[in-house]
Amino acid sequence: MSKDYYIFSEGRIKRKDNTVYFIDSQENKRALPIEEAERIHLFGEIDLNTKLLNYISQYGVVLNFYNYYGFYTGSFYPRKKRVSGLLLVKQGEHYSNYDKRLYMAKSFIDGAAHHILKNLRRYKETTQEQIEKIENERENIDKAKAIDELMGAEGRMRMCYYGAFNGILSNGFTMDKREKRPPTDPVNALISFGNSLMYTTVLGEMYHTQLDPTISYLHEPSSRRFSLTLDVAEIFKPLIIDPLIFYMVNNRMLKQEDFDNYEGVCFLSENGKKKFIREYEKKLETTIKHRSLNRKVSYRTFIKLECYKIIKHLIGEENYKPLKAWW
């Protein structure tokens, strides 16, 4: 079974013969089982070389890099083994055809809205006002005739959603407004950190399909990001990340002392990151009985299945319908 590995310490990763080692700043050495790895997340200051990159590329291992604050900065993305010229043409066609692009963009936001409302309804004693506003915005999303109009409705929906967090979270965790660059309080830090993990998870699952992660529909394609990954992540952030934040904060699994502040930036401490990642991995491996497959499927597998649903839509096999959790 492929796994994710997380490295927080400073040091270097090197290949010796057919083994990859991580050597920390104290010269302690441990082997990394590359044959079992799917992604390696580097939070510490790590040295590596092209000899290592060439080797791990043979196994399709994605390296994800995070900065001092624990926020995602980039990936080493090996040459894809699964490619399809036909699918690439179809992806471009669905971007160039505005109606087709708008359909996909609306689908991603509709999936996100479903999970946002599902979260709020669990706390409807304090979130009824936000539920009603978001239900109205959901109608505007459906009526939107342009991507900009759609993004405006999505932005208002998100603002309203984040405004409900203070009625959901307890134990002194509050948020005045959503701040990304940089986060200045623990709740914003948690959202940013969780969303970074979600982005890299979606990117990793997409790597194992024939989708090109740079051709997107909701987010504008860019030369500096995997924008289709951002599209798909919209569905899963409120399904996986936000409930995890509510759970960990309200059950005192994360406390104020799990956060650090440096030059006006609030971020999880190393211990806080480890706590969150441990629960995040448990969540990804949690299984749900799939309605049509008639078997249990993990949250991680749901992400990969979403990619395959997009492929079927692009090649004309089946209209894309975003995941809407029924459990």
Pairing of strands 19-24, 29-32: antiparallel
Give a three-class secondary structure readout of 220-245. Answer: CCCCCCCHHHHHHHHHHHHHHHHHHH
Q: Are residues 301 and 174 in the same domain?
A: yes
What pLDDT sits at residue 180? 84
User: What is the percent of the chain where pLDDT is above 90?
Assistant: 77
What pLDDT sits at residue 36? 86
Distance of CA 140 to the CA centre of its chain: 25
Q: Tens of pLDDT along 16-51? A: 888 898 998 888 888 888 888 889 999 989 999 998
Does a structural domain hold residue 72? no
Residue 7 bridge partners (DSSP): 42
Residues placed in the known binding site for Mn(2+): 154, 219, 234
Q: Decide which of 224 and 164 is more confident.
A: 164
CATH label of the domain that carries residue 37: 3.100.10.20
Does a structural domain hold residue 80? no
Does a structural domain hold residue 320? no
What value does the mean pLDDT take over residues 303-319? Answer: 97
pLDDT at 1 over 60: no
Q: Are residues 114 and 159 in the same domain?
A: yes
pTM (two decimals): 0.93
What pLDDT sits at residue 294? 87
Q: Are residues 112 and 34 in the same domain?
A: no
The whole domain housing 44 covers: 3-66
Q: Are residues 42 and 145 in the same domain?
A: no
What pLDDT sits at residue 223? 64
Mean pLDDT, the chain, rounded, equals 93
pLDDT at 222 over 90: no
Does a structural domain hold residue 324? no
What pLDDT sits at residue 156? 93
What pLDDT sits at residue 141? 87
Q: Tens of pLDDT along 165-181? A: 999 999 999 998 998 88
CATH label of the domain that carries residue 209: 1.20.120.920
Q: Report how many domains make up the chain.
A: 2
Q: Are residues 14 and 143 in the same domain?
A: no
Measured from the Cβ of residue 208, the count of other Cβ atoms closer than 10 Å reads 16
Does a structural domain hold residue 22? yes
Q: Decide which of 292 and 319 is more confident.
A: 319
Per DSSP, the three-state class of 125 is helix
Q: Are residues 296 and 180 in the same domain?
A: yes
Residues placed in the known binding site: 154, 219, 234
What pLDDT sits at residue 82? 80
What value does the mean pLDDT take over residues 102-109? Answer: 97
Residue 182 · residue 265 · CB < 8 Å: yes
**Cβ neighbours of residue 301 under 8 Å, at least 6 residues apart?**
none
Type and span of the H or E element at 12: strand 11-16
Q: Are residues 219 and 159 in the same domain?
A: yes
pLDDT at 234 over 80: yes
What value does the mean pLDDT take over residues 216-223? Answer: 87
What pLDDT sits at residue 17? 80
Q: Are residues 223 and 261 in the same domain?
A: yes
Domain end point (choices 11, 38, 66)? 66
What value does the mean pLDDT take over residues 253-282? Answer: 95
